Amino acid sequence: MINLETPKKFRVLTDQAHLVATEIFRANSRKYDRAEHAYPKELDMLASLMDGMEEAGARGGAGASGVRREASADEGNRNGSNLSTCLGIMELCWGDVGLLLAMPRQGLGNSAIASVANEEQLQRFAGRWAAMAITEPGCGSDSANIRTTAVLDGDHYVLNGEKIYVTSGDRADLVVVWATLDRSKGRAAIKSFVVEKGTPGFELVRLEHKLGIRASDTAAFVLKDCRVPKENLLGDPEVNVEKGFAGVMQTFDNTRPLVASMAIGLTRACLEETWAQLKRVGVEVDYSKPALNQSAAAAALLALEADYEAARLLTLQAAWMADNRKPNSLQASMAKAKAGRTCVDVALKCVEICGAIGYSENDLLEKWARDAKILDIFEGTQQIQLLIVSRRLLGKSSAELK
């Protein structure tokens, strides 16, 4: 049974993450929101800290690094790297989501590598910063419709296609590119390939200007006869139609709770700031009274807080299930859908409640409202998550329920 308290062994980790969020992320949040595409130099000092935390046994707990479902001799309940990563991300995104995504060696591509790489690949790519390239101009939320191709030619795969909205694509050392080995075989032929930056035929086209998370670079790439060593294919190179998309989707089962955790951290920041603003003007909340007997502002925040708690518990459940090697595709999508939508709703409502204070650049609520929207979009939009949840609950295939 999952325990709702933060495990004792992770409390040092969450305390350290909160300190980083307070002293570095929150302190530089507005600076790099205004200086879009400028690299946050303050993050360089965190690299050694992250390494030290991993060596201390808190692997993946400091940021958006990879998580892996490891076998364990312990048959009891287990709190591992999935849960520790989620708890760390919640604290760091209380500080700033964009700066979390800009942290060196903590890219979403690292999660892809950790999810499906073999031991040799884990060692070879250790300590490298990896972005993840999935989205294409004609393929957004429907990952199964990927057009980028990979053709085996001797000891290399030749990749051709276009990738957009690649988080940390410019700054990362590696990019995990999703491509199809054979479009006629559908989802089962989609594989992920680790492409080294500087590989001939792998061209950075542009950096996007964005509504939020401006501290994080978002890149677009073109692949023209890009030759990638065949040992850089992650997972099984064979196309197994019966297995379908399962191998690739394991990445999402791990990364969607991470994105949900980002939303949880930002939601908490919005709620705490709004509580503080209301307290300054004498609005108090009494948890012993029904919401209808309190001010409209207090009643609204109580409802938002309930949504926040529901999203947080769904996220912890999905991470805990991964740590205990339980199938969590349904829970991962539920957590991502609930947390993403809650974050947007809470951020906008907090701006509304705080009025001019929430709308002004003198406070971070305005920025958080802009940052929130991406958390309802990337790693699968709200609509896609609800579709996945529906398929799982109804026992329908993707062909049966579109």
Q: Could you report the per-residue pLDDT of 56-75, keeping only the tens digit for each?
A: 444 443 344 445 555 555 56
Under 8 Å between Cβ of 247 and 236: yes
Higher pLDDT, 185 or 333: 333
Query: In the numeric block, which tokens belong to residue 223?
Result: 């692949």
Distances in whole angstroms, Cα of residue 106 to Cα of each of 228, 230, 392: 23, 25, 30
134 φψ region: left (φ > 0), alpha (ψ -120 to 50), beta (else):
alpha
What does the pLDDT read at residue 397? 86
Q: Which CATH superfamily is domain 246-394 in?
A: Butyryl-CoA Dehydrogenase, subunit A, domain 3 (1.20.140.10)
Higher pLDDT, 27 or 188: 27
Domain positions in the chain: 8-124, 130-234, 246-394
Over range 182-205, report the average pLDDT. 93
In the chain, DSSP finds a helix count (H) and a strand count (E) of: 13, 8
Under 8 Å between Cβ of 196 and 174: yes
Best-predicted range by mean pLDDT among 81-90, 277-286, 341-350? 341-350
What does the pLDDT read at residue 59? 46
**pLDDT tens, residue by residue, 75-102:** 667 888 889 989 999 999 999 999 999 9
Higher pLDDT, 183 or 151: 151
**pLDDT tens, residue by residue, 349-384:** 999 999 999 999 999 999 999 999 999 998 889 999
Higher pLDDT, 185 or 51: 185
CA 198 to chain centre: 26
Per the prediction, the chain carries an average pLDDT of: 89
Q: What is the 3-state secondary structure (H, E, C) of 295-335?
A: CHHHHHHHHHHHHHHHHHHHHHHHHHHHHCCCCCHHHHHHH
What does the pLDDT read at residue 72? 53
What does the pLDDT read at residue 62? 38
Q: Which of 91, 162, 366, 379 is catalytic?
A: 379
| DSSP classification of residue 6 | P
**pLDDT tens, residue by residue, 234-243:** 988 888 765 5
What does the pLDDT read at residue 64? 44
Over range 275-303, report the average pLDDT. 93
The reply to whether 379 belongs to the active site is: yes
Query: In the numeric block, which tokens belong to residue 402?
Result: 């579109």
Of 26-30, 253-257, 362-366, 368-372, the one with minimum mean pLDDT is 253-257
> Nearest Cα to 213, choosing from 311, 134, 100, 135?
100
Q: How many CB atoms lie within 10 A of CB 290?
A: 9
Architecture of domain 8-124: Orthogonal Bundle (1.10)
Architecture of domain 130-234: Beta Barrel (2.40)
Half-sphere exposure of 306 (CA within 13 A, CB side): 8
> Nearest Cα to 94, choosing from 211, 261, 257?
261
Q: Which residues pair with 136 in a beta bridge?
A: 139
Q: How many CB atoms lie within 10 A of CB 371?
A: 30
| Angle between helix 329-354 and 246-280 (nearest 10) | 20
Over range 44-67, report the average pLDDT. 55
Over range 205-227, report the average pLDDT. 97
Higher pLDDT, 203 or 73: 203
Over range 176-195, report the average pLDDT. 92
Over range 161-171, report the average pLDDT. 96
| Separation between Cα atoms, residue 117 and residue 384, nearest integer Å | 26
Same CATH topology for 8-124 and 246-394: the answer is: no
What does the pLDDT read at residue 2? 58
